[in-house]
Structure 1
């Protein structure tokens, strides 16, 4: 079970010693579940057992800067940019010898999944992504959006200041509380839910990774040299060819649900877009069955397509 010590494993992968949960049979079809910010692996506490019961191997890593995941070297830049998240995920797939798993995530985790699916299509069997195509267009970072949405992204601007860095250092859990409420206005979470996730924010690299993620995303900080080639490729907003289901929660406080047409051209393979009633940005926790169903349906599509080509 996610959150219990006996299922937590560690593996050197790329720049990290990755802490991850590995559930289900080792020879079952693999699914990698990827959490966002400011959340942790408990986003999937209800999703993971359902997937194991459905016959999947389920791998749930802590992202860089979160939980027990650590950098292997002190001199590695604590980058939070999208190319770094994608490189971490690819390194984990390599270390676990996973050839074409289904990747499923939201927020930062969905972005990592989209990056790998776009840059390494041969390594992804299928994709489930909350809020669609999540690769950042850094070149348009200074293009304004509606004032209502800008207000929801208050922490982007807060983190661009030294006051925001100090605030995140001092108030990790309470900043998460404010973001959770804005992201998911219909989700009723408890103080215990928040405290459980906030333990992952005690990671010594959490503040550096988060601050860099938002400053680089706004064009206010350079990316890490090691990720420059991938970031250059991502600047073209490459298409994703893997079979994909995208999900929008109809109660997402920051990303209003759409019909999926705005990013349809970014998906060149089979793609289905779904609305999830009453779910907010933290969709796997708020509507776990809808998230499970999307993964199962991607797997079914893959199986059906495979049998057609036999």
Structure 2
């Protein structure tokens, strides 16, 4: 029998050779020369060397900085004065989603910042009185505050899952802070009112944990160390069906789930999306703008992971009108939800390409 792990080996995927689609053209993600990538002025864009996923297993020392309402933990690689890339993780993941991407970009001369989002890893709240709020604009403002604390005026933003949503929001509301955007799964800004409408049954099935978290049972499961661990591992297995990772890879990330606010942040995020939990009034002005689905005008590359059950059909057509600046779209065949960790070379190349778009 071919299981999830041997299946990837049989097909030859998940090893840094993910196929991509550029305007319908299929090629090898490592064979960037075949794309003839050049910028608007005709100069050739640097080619990121191919690495196998899992080549790196850790970052150096995690740094801490006070930013906004948080003490933010973050990894940093690359030259101190290089152009900045901020890589944003999703749920249930952490900074290790970029453990191979960061050194690839650092080798290209970028200063790479990879923060733990609120409630993850070593990122903690400065005050016990701060509401453990995970609505979308609050998370986005965390990253703006981080940029301010590190004296970063402008950066390339790249993310997936919660990270894509966060990067999209910053690009939409504060475009002057964003040099370029790499957004996995495209435009992920949440419209709470639209979330009240049912999806197709198959799509609803994919979101099972969102509805589980709306219950008291779900909250208790996230607060229990064993249940939380096993639930998050199940999500990894189901949304990345061809990713050949081992137990050690998951456990490195699972350590970030031990943050004392992790359960509260995760539960609030998913309940808020469904309109089942209130946000804070101080974020109302941002949410009102986001409810209009504002366009993003900064240079953008969107990436769709083909084996991610959340990837919408249509090769990016459902969100194409939300990006009005210079733009490219790619679909990575055989890749699941945790795209940067499953296909680090393709993700890093997208960052370099959007910097030259």
TM range (shorter): over 0.9
- Kindly indicate whether residue 162 of structure 2 is the aligned counterpart of residue 108 of structure 1: yes
Which residue of the partner structure matches residue 149 of structure 2?
Answer: 95
CA–CA distance in 1 between the matches of 2:206 and 2:189?
Answer: 19
User: Secondary structure of the equivalent of 1:245?
Assistant: strand
- Kindly indicate whether residue 136 of structure 2 is the aligned counterpart of residue 82 of structure 1: yes
In the TM superposition, what are the counterparts of 1:1-310 in structure 2 within 5 Å?
Answer: 3-4=58-59, 6-170=60-224, 171-256=227-312, 258-301=314-357
Pairwise CA RMSD: 1.2
Higher relative contact order (CA 8 A, sep 6+): 2
User: Secondary structure of the equivalent of 1:83?
Assistant: helix
* Structure 1 unaligned regions, length at least 5: 302-310
Evaluate the alpha carbon distance shift between residue 257 and residue 54 of structure 1 in structure 2; reply closer, same or farther with a 3 A threshold.
Answer: farther
CA–CA distance in 1 between the matches of 2:236 and 2:205?
Answer: 14
User: Secondary structure of the equivalent of 1:42?
Assistant: helix
CA–CA distance in 1 between the matches of 2:242 and 2:346?
Answer: 16
Is the contact made by 1:173 and 1:194 (CA closer than 8 Å) also made in structure 2?
no
- Greater CA drift, 280-289 or 166-175: 166-175
C-alpha displacement at 1:225, in angstroms?
Answer: 2.4
C-alpha displacement at 1:178, in angstroms?
Answer: 1.1
Is the contact made by 1:240 and 1:267 (CA closer than 8 Å) also made in structure 2?
yes
* TM-score, scaled to structure 2: 0.82
Evaluate the alpha carbon distance shift between residue 14 and residue 245 of structure 1 in structure 2; reply closer, same or farther with a 3 A threshold.
Answer: same
Is the contact made by 1:246 and 1:272 (CA closer than 8 Å) also made in structure 2?
yes
CA–CA distance in 1 between the matches of 2:63 and 2:274?
Answer: 34
CA–CA distance in 2 between the matches of 1:2 and 1:251?
Answer: 24
* Structure 2 unaligned regions, length at least 5: 1-55
Q: Which has the higher helix share?
A: 1
- Greater CA drift, 181-190 or 270-279: 181-190
CA–CA distance in 2 between the matches of 1:263 and 1:94?
Answer: 30
Structure 1 runs (4+) greater than 4 angstroms displaced: none
Is the contact made by 1:152 and 1:182 (CA closer than 8 Å) also made in structure 2?
no
C-alpha displacement at 1:215, in angstroms?
Answer: 0.4
CA–CA distance in 2 between the matches of 1:93 and 1:2?
Answer: 26
CA–CA distance in 2 between the matches of 1:175 and 1:122?
Answer: 39
Which residue of the partner structure matches residue 308 of structure 1?
Answer: none
CA–CA distance in 2 between the matches of 1:15 and 1:231?
Answer: 19
Is the contact made by 2:312 and 2:318 (CA closer than 8 Å) also made in structure 1?
no
* TM-score, scaled to structure 1: 0.94
Q: 1:222-263: per-residue Cα shift (whole Å, max 9, x none)? A: 112232221111111111111000000111122245321211
